[in-house]
């Protein structure tokens, strides 16, 4: 029986899932769990529909990792006043980078680039250019993330 224990399957069925819980594949596509989601040629590499969905999800995941890395990079700057923070929207699933004041308290929170740019304009040339490059990269990743999630959604709709 391919290594699945009957006990594990029964216990999985016996435990009700919390609201909103779903299989990771189902969560990505929003489709109810069913046997038809299985790739009919899973071991040959020729299964079409699920492969497209997996590739789209892989692209989204890769962009999310790049966003996390860029955020970590900005937090490593000594004496930093601002850093990029990863912001996740629960309702849409969007993940994007936003500038945030470092530290905690009344000053901490998300800040628009225009406000930060005035601060960065006073920095030495090399550091100012670095922050501007980081900002451009953050905008690019945010744009690519939106495009990748849209492509993923379309893949899921084409391959229910």
pLDDT digit string (tens) for 80-115?
888 999 999 998 889 999 999 877 665 678 888 888
DSSP letter (8 states) at residue 89 = -
Domain assignment present for residue 64? The answer is: yes
Domain assignment present for residue 140? The answer is: yes
> What is residue 107's predicted lDDT score, i.e. its pLDDT?
62
Domain assignment present for residue 38? The answer is: no
Domain assignment present for residue 126? The answer is: yes
Tokens 């890395």 belong to which residue?
A: 69
Question: pTM for this one?
Answer: 0.66
**In the chain, how many domains are there?**
1
Domain assignment present for residue 151? The answer is: yes
> Mean pLDDT across the stretch 25-51?
53
Domain assignment present for residue 16? The answer is: no
Least confident segment among 85-89, 107-111, 133-137, 148-152: 107-111
Helices 125-158, 113-120: axis angle to 10 degrees equals: 160
Domain assignment present for residue 8? The answer is: no
- Closest by CA position to 98, among listed 128, 67, 124: 67
Domain assignment present for residue 25? The answer is: no
**Which residue segment(s) compose the domain that 62 sits in?**
43-158
Residue of higher predicted confidence among 50 and 106: 50
Confidence of residue 151 (pLDDT cuts 50, 70, 90): very high
Half-sphere exposure of 53 (CA within 13 A, CB side): 21
Half-sphere exposure of 64 (CA within 13 A, CB side): 13
């Amino acid at each position: 029986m391919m290594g699945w224990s009957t006990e594990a399957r029964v216990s999985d069925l016996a435990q009700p899932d919390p609201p909103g819980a779903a299989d990771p594949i189902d969560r990505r596509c929003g489709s109810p769990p069913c046997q038809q989601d299985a790739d009919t040629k899973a071991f040959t590499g020729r299964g079409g529909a699920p492969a497209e969905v997996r590739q789209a999800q892989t692209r989204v995941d890769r962009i999310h990792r790049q966003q996390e890395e860029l955020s970590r990079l900005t937090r490593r700057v000594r004496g930093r006043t601002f850093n990029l923070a990863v912001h996740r929207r629960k309702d849409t699933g969007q993940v994007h980078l936003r500038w945030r004041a470092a530290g905690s308290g009344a000053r901490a929170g998300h800040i628009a680039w225009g406000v930060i740019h005035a601060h960065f304009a006073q920095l030495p040339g090399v550091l100012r250019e670095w922050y501007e490059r980081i900002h451009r990269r953050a905008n690019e990743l945010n744009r690519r993330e939106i495009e990748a999630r849209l492509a993923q959604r379309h893949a899921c709709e084409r391959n229910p």
